[in-house]
Homo-oligomer: A and B are copies of this chain.
């Protein structure tokens, strides 16, 4: 199990001693995904939060009319889950699919709750993670509201160059909230 990466992720915000590291690592389970495997499917229980060791995943929502909206991409060193459903222990609303061969570390809801009790510092770590996620999402809302698609696309390319390389264009379109056709015409004009 590759664990250097997740430990360095955590050491950004809190420091752990040997015993704490050992306990924390004991809670993780590795999950390997082939391209197009699902880490989570809508309607299933969403029991884990996932740390991406390698690869690229996409979280997306399928609405009643069959259209899909991409909620987020997750590449190495990102955390991903269906947060509303993970937090409230209700069936997943979204799907999480591997865009490329990927490897993730899973932390179960029950285990993270135990972890919060046993090593309260982890509340801090995830507080900061949630805070950053909130900030990112709020900025995204702001851009969706105030900018045309072309400007949003340019910002996406600048902000997530790695993701832009790894994922098909139609997924970026659905992240931006536009059709693949329209993204294509945006790109044409440059």
Contacts and interface: CB of A to CB of B under 8 A. Distances in A.
B61 A146 contact: yes
Interface-centre pick from A67, A83, A121, A145 (highest chain B CB count, 10 A): A145
Number of copies: 2
Contacts of A69: 142, 145-146
Interface in A124-142: 124, 126-127, 130-135, 137-142
A144 interface: yes
A144 B138 CA distance: 12
Interface residues of A, number: 33
A144 B144 contact: yes
Interface in A101-129: 116, 120-121, 123-124, 126-127
A61 B162 CA distance: 29
Interface-centre pick from A87, A130, A132 (highest chain B CB count, 10 A): A130
A5 to B, nearest CB: 22
Given A116-B124, A126-B127, A134 B83 contact: yes
Given A83-B131, A87-B135, A131-B87, A71 B142 contact: yes
A69 B133 CA distance: 20
Given A83-B134, A120-B123, A137-B134, A145 B144 contact: yes
A63 interface: yes
10 contacts: A69-B146, A87-B132, A123-B127, A134-B134, A137-B138, A140-B141, A141-B141, A144-B144, A144-B177, A145-B174
Interface of A: 61, 63, 67, 69, 71, 83-84, 87, 116, 120-121, 123-124, 126-127, 130-135, 137-142, 144-146, 174, 176-177
